[in-house]
């Protein structure tokens, strides 16, 4: 399989994201064949060494990548103390070790990935990778092209600069408007905040695409396993 960096090995095994795995290493919590490795740069051959974290051997797990059409009213979390439905309720019980990649708020719906690969999660959620996400928003009232032009210029909100990479008015009338918005920053509730800054309330919000992967005809509440080609397309220039 070749040599890989120790932090990537840990991320691939589902221990933690690559960044969090680096912290485990420098904290002296990782051993390779019984010897503590506390400096970054170490490379290992998966299957050829015994790696442990806090004394517990790390076993490389089969990596799973799932696309889910999250319905409204379902939480993007592994569990909820109030007993509300979560995305984990929609998956087979044997996939209880998966975790959501990023978030969709309670009232939003659409494409969500779940995985046990921490490195995959980091690359799709960290702003430096600029993975674009496309949304379809239904807005109360009429929205004009001139208003939407402010999205790509950037809008200041709560000390943050919110900005869309692309925005397209699909249709508009006096009661509702439908707008397609493409983002790369991934700030919290960014689409709703963009429209809120213009005085418009979002009635419906659906994520339709992440990177090159589309929601397509996947029904609400249903899931499918990503193909190898789709996973590769979402992880450019790994190393």
Q: Do residues 108 and 181 touch, judged by C-beta distance below 8 A?
A: no
Q: What are phi and psi of 74, to 5 degrees?
A: -115, 135
Tokens describing residue 225: 């396993």
Helices (H), the chain: 6-12, 18-26, 118-125, 145-153, 190-197, 228-234
Is 105 a residue of the active site? Answer: yes
Q: Exposed (0-12), middle (13-18) or buried (19+): which is 216, by Cβ within 10 Å?
A: exposed
Query: CA 177 to CA 156: how far, in whole Å?
Result: 23
Torsion of the alpha carbons at 71, 73, 79 and 84, rounded to the nearest 10: -140
Contact 174, 139 (CB under 8 A): no
Pairing state between β 109-115 and 99-101 = antiparallel
Looking at residue 86, the DSSP 8-state letter turns out to be B
Gap between the Cα atoms of 30 and 10, Å rounded: 10
Catalytic residue among 80, 105, 119, 157, which? 105
Catalytic residue positions?
105
């Amino acid at each position: 399989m070749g040599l890989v960096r120790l932090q990537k090995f840990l991320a691939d095994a589902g221990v933690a994201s690559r960044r969090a795995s680096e912290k485990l290493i420098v904290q002296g919590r990782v051993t390779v064949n019984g010897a503590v490795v506390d400096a970054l740069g170490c490379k290992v051959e998966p299957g050829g060494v015994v790696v442990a974290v806090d004394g517990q051997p790390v076993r490389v797990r089969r990596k799973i990548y799932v696309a889910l059409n999250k319905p409204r009213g379902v939480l993007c979390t592994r569990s909820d103390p109030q007993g509300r439905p979560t995305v984990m309720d929609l998956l087979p019980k044997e996939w209880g070790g998966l975790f959501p990649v990023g978030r969709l708020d309670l009232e939003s719906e659409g494409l969500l990935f779940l995985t046990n690969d921490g490195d995959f999660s980091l690359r799709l959620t960290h702003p430096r990778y600029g993975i674009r996400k496309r949304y379809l928003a239904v807005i109360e009232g009429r929205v004009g092209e001139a208003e939407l032009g402010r999205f790509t210029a950037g809008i200041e909100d709560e000390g943050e600069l919110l900005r869309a990479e692309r925005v397209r008015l699909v249709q508009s009338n006096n009661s509702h408007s439908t707008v397609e918005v493409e983002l790369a920053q991934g700030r919290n509730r960014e689409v709703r905040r963009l429209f809120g800054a213009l005085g418009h309330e979002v009635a419906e919000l659906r994520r339709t695409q992440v990177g090159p992967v589309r929601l397509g005809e996947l029904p609400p509440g249903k899931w499918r396993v990503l193909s190898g080609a789709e996973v590769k397309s979402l992880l450019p220039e790994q190393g």
